[in-house]
Structure formats: structure tokens, C-alpha cells
């Protein structure tokens, strides 16, 4: 066994072998994989081996498409047969809501070039005669689906990596991980010790235990998962004989089952409501090529639906039942990337759909390790999307919920209840008493809207029970004044003698003067947006940075990676040690004036000014800025003052008709200003010119900020895309994101976000289109729930296009 290596990959499942292969494919040598038993031990060997490209997140779908396309390459390169069966497949809907969801998924595939299409129940039956067409309302056909041999595929990755120079040590158990002073890692095994520059945790069922070796509690849990294999079925044999091909892969969402052909019979798997975690506290190291006790009674409700939807199963004998553990994260997506606060410790685990995603995960992680960037927008898979709130108990609750709902519809306005409430602010009870309907974001309860007595969210793809109330909240802001809690934003204190110089290097904007704020894009080396913030200078060497709450760990990882090592800068994620309220609307200044003796006139307190001031008896930081695009103020305070200030503001605003508003009204208001948001309009896919943020990028400033040359090049070439706003001729539903944008009947772009702009009384979509057509005035349409809706390019904001109101 080597004593030194560049990389040690821990875990010999499909993901570990994919990571190993991709590192060697891109030229890294001295790469080693260690596996405590045999390759495929753990979850891989008993996987059903299904694969598909369609995914609700288009960025994940791209990686799945790559994975499927990779299989021929590794089979040819390794000489290992992977048992590839490209059968095609379909997703089935037994009700209208499910069919609406499928239409939205199908639409996302259009701008990705996926060749999927809708089927009637009869057409579905013609392709898959085992199903009863009377049980369904429609289906989506996907030609790029199938299954493979898990053992052969994993060994194809491994053999390809070994051909490129990698080494694999089997029956070698990692017992501890210790980082040395120079940043390298001691990988201590039962066969000896390897010193490596990088460690990759591909431990699968044991990923949690490997994380604990370095003091990390990964949000991952194994669940028991069952599928059955039938005896030979005459219907299958006859179809194969008459058609000369296998039956296709099917997902019956409402039955919560999936099925495919297995030899002359069928395989049927379930995601049952009565789900069961496996070994929730620790994973035994001696577990290996073994299965769990079958418990067919637990999946009986799902099987009954499956047998009704596919009647031939009633006549089939069951040859085998497989029950084995698979790992899941709280949202079902993988945990990939560098772990914050650690040098060269990488995660590639919780990859439940290993044969759909394993290749893409290996590609992204290898890119990240070699080039410092995954090469894709992988935030949906990034291990940094979870903070320290994702404890063992939280993970258990959310994984169980996710597993039991894996084939359930998640409506755009649906908030899932497990693991909640967890984090709350001091005014949570006050907001709840006022009718707040909460959503959870990054573990924090945040008001979405304020429901009148007796009114609840009715989950739907279309406008629902919140529509009129959200409209009233938005109009109250535009016509008078509204109050909103803003504690969900991420807040960072940056202090020290080197704070200004560091921020000047980190951010693309010009730094503000003391008492001023600015919008602050943050770029990667390639000039793409990795963050957008509001930067406030409170004093010399004293800055407050405000950003997206869901990206706190993601951004802290970036910040900490680039911090100077001389101690000249201190950085703190304030989280709930600083909480917030915001007032907005034409009467907002009148309300603020009643709270302070300070002059808050436009002359004394202009747009983008920031002050420390007492409001009533409470010290606060007040910035004159508002994401509503209206006259407004953000107010930040320590948590012990929030209840007091909440009551004080409501009392001061009573004479002006102040009204509470939530995140749904805020979305409606920002759409009227064509304001973008992080993770939708602003993400690592886009440059500042493309995103319309070029005026905040100071390519001419003295500081050589990260991404400067790439930003200058984008300014010269103009980039490839443009962010544009459209008014949509919507009926009873509004876009939510990822719908295709058409020009003259051809797909030319995609929606990033949208909704109904209540102040303007119009349905709005924001999205990207190629720059060459970005200013074409006519011929636009947007596909929504299977219907083509005319759209009008909106060249200027619907509200206050000159910005006079927010600056006045």
C-alpha cells in the first residue's frame, strides 16, 4: 500500500468509483481508493439500477443526462459489460394535479433539449400494455431511461480509473482521519497509513461515521427500501416476442411505485408512507453484502395500488423481495463539495439515485478539486446548503418526510411540516397571532402571508386561497406602509484594520463611504456571480454585509477560503444575533419619524444611507433601502429589542394604516421593479452583464478584485444572455420558474422566477434569453402547465421606472 497519495477516496460504491475515474480522466495521478470490503458493498450492490434524465431541477437534470451518456464511454474504455438496457420510460399521472405537474417538468426539459412528450392513457397502454389505461389521465414519455447492472457499472468505473493509473485497496478499513499542521491528511487504516493532500468522503452508508472522524455531523440517514421481483410473466414474454424489445421503465407517482422488466418478469419498488429508518444513530461497520428482513405488510398499501394500476401483477408470483438500506439527505439530493472550515476535505455522499447521478457527481467533484469550481451550478447538491441546524434529529425527521413523499406532488405554495418549528425569532408568537402562515428557510420560520381567520393555504398549481390576501398586503405597501420581518437574510460583520482592503478584493463594487450602502456583486474567478449583497460601511474598519439566508454556509465557505491569514480581518456570521424588521411604502418615512428625534428627511437621510440610531429606547442600525423598490427602511437590532420595536412600529404606524406583509407580497413587489434574487436570477451560471448588474461592477477600481479580468472580458463581448422581464397573458396560474420562453414558436430561453404583480395587476415572468434577441418586442410566449401564453417584453419596471419614489 502506498504511504503517500494526492487523493484518497473513501468508499467503493458507484459514487466513489466515479470520483476516482473522473480525477484520473482529467489528469490527476497518485489517486487511491480504499474500501473496507469489496466494491459495491453497502447500498450499490442491491440497487435496482434504474436511471433517467428528467429531474425537477434542470441543473441536476444536466448532470443526470451526462451520467447516462457516460455509460457507453466507461463500458468501452474498461471492457467491462455494464448490462445497459436503454428501454425508454414513462411517468404516469392518475389525476389532473399530477398531470399539471408533469407538464411543468416536461416544459423544463424543452430548453434542455430533452426529447420527452405527453401521452394519452391509450398511447401509454400501447407502449406499456401491463397498465390499465382507465386508471390514468396521461403520461410523459422519456426516451432516455433504462436500467443497468450495478456491479458491472461500478467495476467499469473502477477498471477505467485503474487503467488511468489509480490504485484500489480492498478490505482496507479507515479507522481515523487526522489533519497535519501542513494541511495534509493522515488516513489511518487497519492495513497502515496513507498521507494525502485530499480526502473524499464517498462512504455511503458509513459517510456519517467518516464525517464524525473529523468532528462533522453530516445530515444523512439510511432508510429501508424494498422492491419485489416477480416470477416469469406470460405478458412480459409475449411483449418481448412480438415487439423484439423489453418493456419500458415506469414511474407511477400516485401509486408511489416504480417498475421495470427483470429477465422474464418485472421488478416493482415502492416509496411507502410507512417508511422506516435503518440504524439511525450509527452504522455498524460489519454490515456488508447482506439484506434486511423483508416486511411486505409495510408496503401493502402501495402494492395494492400498483396491482390495481397494473393488473397483470395480480396473476404473477413473487420470486424475491429485496429490502436494503439507502442513504438520503433531508431534501433527497446529494451532499457534494468541499466542507466548510476544513482544508481539502470533500463530500460526495447521500447520492440516493447513484445510477442517475453518480457520473455527474464524479464530474462535478473532480472539476471542483482540480479547477476550484464544479463547472456547473450544483447548489441543489452542495453540502453547504445546510447549516448547523441540520442536527441528527432534524435530519431524521426530514429524511422520513422526504422518503414518504418522494413520489408525492410538492405544490409551489406547499410548506412541509417535519422538523418545524425549529428556529424562531422573538416575535414569532406575535406574528402567528396575527395570522402568519410560515415557511421554513435555512431552518428559520419566516412569514409568507397573513391569513384572515378561517382561511388556510390550499395547495395548488394555480392561484390559491392566499391570492387576494397577498394582493391586499402588496397594495397596502404601495398605497401606505407595510411592516415585514427580515431576520431570514444572512448578516455578516466584517471588521478590522484590513476589512476594507479585503472586501475591495472580494467584491466587485466600489466600497461605500462611511454612512453609506451599496449593492455588491461577488464574482468567481471566471466572472460569474457567486453572490449579491448589500454592503454597509458603519465606520472605519466596520462593515455590515447582508445577503441571501439560504446561502449563509455557502458564502461563509467562500469568505473563509479567502480571508487573510494575518488576523487583520474578523468575520462573523451574525445569524439570529442580529434580527430585522423593514417598513416600506410612501408613508414609511412618516412612521420612522415618529420613532426617533433624528432628522430622517431626504436631505439628511438620503437613499442608500445607513445610520446607527435609537428608535424609541432601542438601539438599531437603519438603512434607507428596500427590496420592494419603494420608499423604505431596513432596521436591524439585537434580538432582545425586536419585540419592543415591533410593537413600537405598529403603534406609530396605526394612523397610517400600517399592515403586516410577508415574503409572497415581497415577491410580487420586487417583480414590479424587475429586481432579481439570489439562486434564481443571480447564480454562478451568469455574468454581471447578462444579469443586468454591470453598473455595480467597478472594473476600473484600483483593487484587483476576484473575477476582474473575466468581468472586463464579458463587458467587451457582451456575454451570451440577457435577463429580461415579461408580462404574461396568464389566466388562473402564474409562472414559478424554469418554464420555457419562446420567440416565434421556438424555445429561446427560460424563466428564472415570476408571479403575480398585484400592484400592477399583471402576471410577470423574469428570465434569460440570448442577447441577440433580447430586445425583440413581439412574438414572445411562455409555456405554462402545457399551454402557450402570449408574453410582452417589459422594457422598464412596471413600478416607478425612474426610481423617483424610492429616492425621494
pLDDT digits (tens, 9 = 90+) for 385-400: 999 999 999 999 999 9
CB 583 within 8 A of CB 649: yes
Tens of pLDDT, residue by residue over 319-342, are 999 999 999 999 999 999 999 999
Q: Which of 44, 46, 38, 36 is nearest to 14 (CA)?
A: 44
Pairing of strands 490-495, 542-547: antiparallel
From CA 536, how far away is CA 623, in angstroms rounded?
A: 8
Average pLDDT over residues 485-512: 98
Average pLDDT over residues 424-441: 98
Residues 6 or more apart whose Cβ sits within 8 Å of residue 367: 26, 373, 374, 375, 376
Q: Is 774 exposed, middle or buried (0-12, 13-18, 19+ CB in 10 A)?
A: middle
In this model, does residue 56 exceed pLDDT 80?
Answer: no
At residue 107, the pLDDT reads: 87
From CA 16, how far away is CA 158, in angstroms rounded?
A: 9
Q: Give me 195's grid cell.
A: 498521507
From CA 484, how far away is CA 650, in angstroms rounded?
A: 11
CB 243 within 8 A of CB 191: no
Q: What is the pTM of this model?
A: 0.96
| Angle, helix 467-479 to helix 663-672, in steps of 10 degrees | 60
At residue 533, the pLDDT reads: 98
104 φ/ψ angles, rounded to the nearest 5 degrees: -70, -40
Tens of pLDDT, residue by residue over 191-229, are 999 999 999 999 999 999 999 999 999 999 999 999 999
In this model, does residue 110 exceed pLDDT 90?
Answer: no
Residues 6 or more apart whose Cβ sits within 8 Å of residue 590: 481, 656
From CA 347, how far away is CA 553, in angstroms rounded?
A: 15
From CA 569, how far away is CA 503, in angstroms rounded?
A: 10
At residue 746, the pLDDT reads: 96
- In 524-642, beta strands by DSSP E: 529-539, 542-547, 570-573, 579-584, 610-615, 618-623, 632-637
Indicate the Cα dihedral angle 590, 595, 596, 599, nearest 10°: -10
Residues 6 or more apart whose Cβ sits within 8 Å of residue 795: 775
Average pLDDT over residues 270-283: 96
Tens of pLDDT, residue by residue over 546-574, are 999 999 999 999 999 999 999 999 999 99
From CA 51, how far away is CA 87, in angstroms rounded?
A: 10
Q: DSSP letters of 113-176?
A: T---EEE-HHHHHHH-TTS-GGG-SEEEEESSEEE--HHHHHHHHHHHHHHTT-EEE-S--EEE
From CA 181, how far away is CA 176, in angstroms rounded?
A: 16
With the C-alpha atoms ordered 61, 66, 69, 74, is the resulting torsion angle positive or negative? negative
The alpha helices in 315-353, defined as continuous H runs, are none
Q: Is 472 exposed, middle or buried (0-12, 13-18, 19+ CB in 10 A)?
A: middle
Confidence of residue 59 (pLDDT cuts 50, 70, 90): confident
DSSP state of 609: B
Confidence of residue 105 (pLDDT cuts 50, 70, 90): confident
From CA 81, how far away is CA 153, in angstroms rounded?
A: 8
Q: Is 183 exposed, middle or buried (0-12, 13-18, 19+ CB in 10 A)?
A: exposed
CB 666 within 8 A of CB 470: no
From CA 75, how far away is CA 81, in angstroms rounded?
A: 6
CB 265 within 8 A of CB 390: no
CB 547 within 8 A of CB 531: yes
Q: Give me 307's grid cell.
A: 396491482
Residues 6 or more apart whose Cβ sits within 8 Å of residue 801: none
The single residue listed with the C-alpha cell 420586487 is 670
In this model, does residue 161 exceed pLDDT 90?
Answer: yes
The single residue listed with the C-alpha cell 474498461 is 78
CB 750 within 8 A of CB 109: no
In this model, does residue 65 exceed pLDDT 80?
Answer: yes
At residue 115, the pLDDT reads: 83
Pairing of strands 318-328, 335-338: unpaired
Task: Please give, one letter per residue, the 3-state secondary structure of 17-77.
Answer: HHHHHHHHHCCCCCEEEECCCCCCCCCHHHCCCEEECCCCCHHHHHHHHHHHHHHHHHHHH
Q: Which of 543, 608, 649, 631 is nearest to 808 (CA)?
A: 631
- Cα distances (Å, whole numbers) of residue 574 to 489, 490, 689: 10, 7, 31
At residue 106, the pLDDT reads: 87
Confidence of residue 355 (pLDDT cuts 50, 70, 90): very high
Q: Which of 574, 581, 529 is nearest to 549 (CA)?
A: 574
- Cα distances (Å, whole numbers) of residue 449 to 149, 394, 484, 742: 49, 25, 10, 33
Instruction: Give the number of C-alpha atoms closer than 13 A to the C-alpha of residue 682, restricted to the C-beta side.
Output: 24
At residue 289, the pLDDT reads: 84
- Cα distances (Å, whole numbers) of residue 340 to 226, 337, 369: 35, 9, 14
158 φ/ψ angles, rounded to the nearest 5 degrees: -65, -45
Kind plus residue range of the DSSP H or E element containing 305: helix 300-309
From CA 641, how far away is CA 643, in angstroms rounded?
A: 6
Tens of pLDDT, residue by residue over 604-658, are 999 999 999 999 999 999 999 999 999 999 999 999 999 999 999 999 999 999 9
pLDDT-above-70 percentage for the chain: 100
Q: What angle do CA 544, 546, 548 make, to 5 degrees?
A: 155
Confidence of residue 792 (pLDDT cuts 50, 70, 90): very high
Confidence of residue 162 (pLDDT cuts 50, 70, 90): very high
From CA 340, how far away is CA 803, in angstroms rounded?
A: 40
DSSP state of 616: T
Instruction: Give the number of C-alpha atoms closer than 13 A to the C-alpha of residue 125, restricted to the C-beta side.
Output: 14
Q: DSSP letters of 245-260?
A: SPPPEEEETTTTEEEE
Q: What angle do CA 483, 484, 488 make, to 5 degrees?
A: 160
Q: Is 362 exposed, middle or buried (0-12, 13-18, 19+ CB in 10 A)?
A: buried
At residue 209, the pLDDT reads: 98
Q: Give me 152's grid cell.
A: 458491472
Confidence of residue 783 (pLDDT cuts 50, 70, 90): very high
Q: Which of 202, 145, 129, 134 is nearest to 168 (CA)?
A: 202
> Regarding predicted confidence, which is higher, 107 or 130?
130
In this model, does residue 662 exceed pLDDT 80?
Answer: yes
Q: Give me 564's grid cell.
A: 487573510
From CA 519, how far away is CA 691, in angstroms rounded?
A: 14
Amino acid at each position: 500500500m502506498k504511504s503517500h497519495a494526492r487523493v484518497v477516496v473513501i468508499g467503493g460504491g458507484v459514487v466513489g468509483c466515479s470520483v476516482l475515474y473522473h480525477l484520473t480522466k482529467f489528469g490527476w495521478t497518485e489517486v487511491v481508493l480504499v474500501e473496507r470490503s469489496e466494491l459495491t458493498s453497502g447500498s450499490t450492490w442491491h440497487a435496482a439500477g434504474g436511471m433517467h434524465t428528467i429531474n425537477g431541477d434542470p441543473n441536476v437534470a444536466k448532470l443526470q443526462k451526462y451520467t447516462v451518456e457516460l455509460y457507453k464511454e466507461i463500458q468501452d474504455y474498461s471492457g467491462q459489460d455494464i448490462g445497459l438496457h436503454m428501454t425508454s420510460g414513462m411517468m404516469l399521472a392518475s389525476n389532473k394535479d399530477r398531470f399539471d405537474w408533469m407538464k411543468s417538468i416536461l416544459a423544463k426539459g424543452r430548453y434542455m433539449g430533452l426529447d420527452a412528450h405527453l401521452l394519452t392513457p391509450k398511447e401509454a397502454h400501447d407502449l406499456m400494455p401491463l397498465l390499465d389505461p382507465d386508471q390514468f389521465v396521461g403520461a410523459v414519455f422519456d426516451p432516455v431511461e433504462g436500467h443497468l447492472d450495478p456491479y458491472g457499472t461500478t467495476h467499469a468505473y473502477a477498471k477505467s480509473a485503474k487503467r488511468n493509473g489509480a490504485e484500489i485497496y480492498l478490505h482496507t478499513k479507515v479507522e481515523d482521519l487526522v489533519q497535519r499542521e501542513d494541511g495534509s491528511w493522515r488516513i489511518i487504516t487497519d492495513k497502515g497509513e496513507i498521507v494525502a493532500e485530499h480526502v473524499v468522503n464517498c462512504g455511503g452508508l458509513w459517510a456519517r461515521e467518516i464525517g464524525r472522524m473529523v468532528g462533522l455531523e453530516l445530515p444523512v440517514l439510511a432508510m429501508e427500501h424494498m422492491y419485489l421481483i416477480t416470477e416469469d410473466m406470460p405478458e412480459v414474454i409475449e411483449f418481448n416476442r412480438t415487439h423484439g424489445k423489453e418493456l419500458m421503465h415506469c414511474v407511477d407517482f400516485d401509486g408511489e411505485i416504480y417498475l421495470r422488466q427483470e429477465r422474464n418478469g418485472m421488478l416493482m419498488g415502492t416509496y411507502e408512507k410507512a417508511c422506516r429508518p435503518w440504524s439511525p444513530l450509527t452504522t455498524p461497520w460489519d454490515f456488508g453484502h447482506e439484506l434486511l428482513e423483508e416486511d411486505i405488510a409495510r408496503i401493502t398499501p402501495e402494492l395494492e395500488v400498483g396491482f390495481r394500476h397494473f393488473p397483470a401483477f395480480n396473476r404473477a408470483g413473487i420470486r424475491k423481495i429485496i429490502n436494503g438500506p439507502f442513504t438520503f439527505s433531508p431534501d433527497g439530493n446529494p451532499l457534494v463539495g468541499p466542507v466548510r472550515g476544513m482544508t481539502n476535505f470533500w463530500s460526495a455522499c447521500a447520492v440516493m439515485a447513484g445510477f442517475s447521478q453518480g457520473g455527474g457527481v464524479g464530474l462535478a467533484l473532480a472539476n471542483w478539486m482540480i479547477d476550484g469550481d464544479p463547472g456547473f451550478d450544483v447548489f441543489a447538491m452542495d453540502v453547504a446548503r445546510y447549516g448547523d441546524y441540520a442536527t441528527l434529529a432534524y435530519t431524521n425527521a426530514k429524511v422520513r418526510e422526504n422518503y414518504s413523499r418522494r413520489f408525492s406532488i410538492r405544490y409551489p405554495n406547499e410548506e412541509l411540516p417535519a422538523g418545524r418549528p425549529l428556529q424562531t425569532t422573538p416575535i414569532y408568537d406575535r406574528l402567528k397571532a396575527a395570522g402568519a402562515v410560515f415557511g421554513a428557510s435555512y431552518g428559520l420560520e419566516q412569514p409568507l402571508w397573513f391569513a384572515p381567520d378561517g382561511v388556510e393555504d390550499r395547495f395548488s398549481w394555480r392561484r390559491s386561497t392566499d391570492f387576494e390576501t397577498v394582493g391586499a398586503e402588496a397594495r397596502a405597501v404601495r398605497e401606505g406602509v407595510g411592516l415585514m420581518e427580515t431576520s431570514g437574510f444572512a448578516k455578516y460583520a466584517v471588521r478590522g484594520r484590513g476589512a476594507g482592503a479585503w472586501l475591495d478584493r472580494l467584491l466587485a463594487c466600489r466600497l461605500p463611504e462611511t454612512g453609506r450602502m451599496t449593492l455588491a456583486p461577488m464574482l468567481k474567478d471566471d466572472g460569474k456571480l457567486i453572490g449579491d449583497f448589500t454592503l454597509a460601511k458603519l465606520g472605519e474598519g466596520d462593515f455590515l454585509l447582508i445577503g441571501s439566508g439560504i446561502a449563509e454556509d455557502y458564502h461563509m465557505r467562500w469568505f473563509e477560503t479567502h480571508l487573510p491569514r494575518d488576523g487583520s480581518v474578523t468575520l462573523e456570521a451574525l445569524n439570529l444575533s442580529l434580527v430585522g424588521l423593514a417598513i416600506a411604502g410612501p408613508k414609511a418615512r412618516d412612521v420612522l419619524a415618529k420613532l426617533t428625534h433624528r432628522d430622517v428627511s431626504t436631505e439628511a437621510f438620503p437613499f442608500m444611507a445607513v445610520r446607527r440610531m435609537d428608535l424609541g429606547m432601542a438601539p438599531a442600525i437603519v438603512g434607507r433601502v428596500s427590496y420592494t423598490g419603494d420608499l423604505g427602511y431596513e432596521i436591524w437590532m439585537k434580538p432582545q429589542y425586536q419585540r419592543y420595536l415591533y410593537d413600537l412600529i405598529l403603534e406609530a404606524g396605526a394612523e397610517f394604516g400600517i399592515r403586516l406583509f410577508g415574503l409572497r407580497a415581497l415577491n410580487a413587489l420586487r417583480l414590479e421593479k424587475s429586481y432579481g434574487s439570489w439562486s434564481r436570477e443571480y447564480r454562478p451560471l451568469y455574468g454581471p452583464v447578462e444579469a443586468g448588474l454591470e453598473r455595480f461592477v467597478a472594473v476600473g477600481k484600483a483593487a484587483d478584485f476576484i473575477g476582474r479580468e473575466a468581468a472586463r472580458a464579458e463587458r467587451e463581448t457582451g456575454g451570451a444572455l440577457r435577463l429580461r422581464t415579461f408580462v404574461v397573458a396568464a389566466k388562473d396560474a402564474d409562472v414559478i420558474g424554469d418554464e420555457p420562453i419562446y420567440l416565434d414558436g421556438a424555445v429561446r430561453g427560460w424563466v428564472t422566477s415570476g408571479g403575480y404583480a398585484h400592484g400592477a395587476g399583471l402576471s410577470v415572468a423574469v428570465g434569460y434569453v440570448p442577447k441577440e434577441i433580447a430586445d425583440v418586442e413581439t412574438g414572445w410566449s411562455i409555456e405554462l402547465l402545457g399551454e402557450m401564453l402570449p408574453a410582452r417584453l417589459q422594457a422598464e419596471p412596471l413600478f416607478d421606472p425612474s426610481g423617483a419614489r424610492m429616492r425621494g
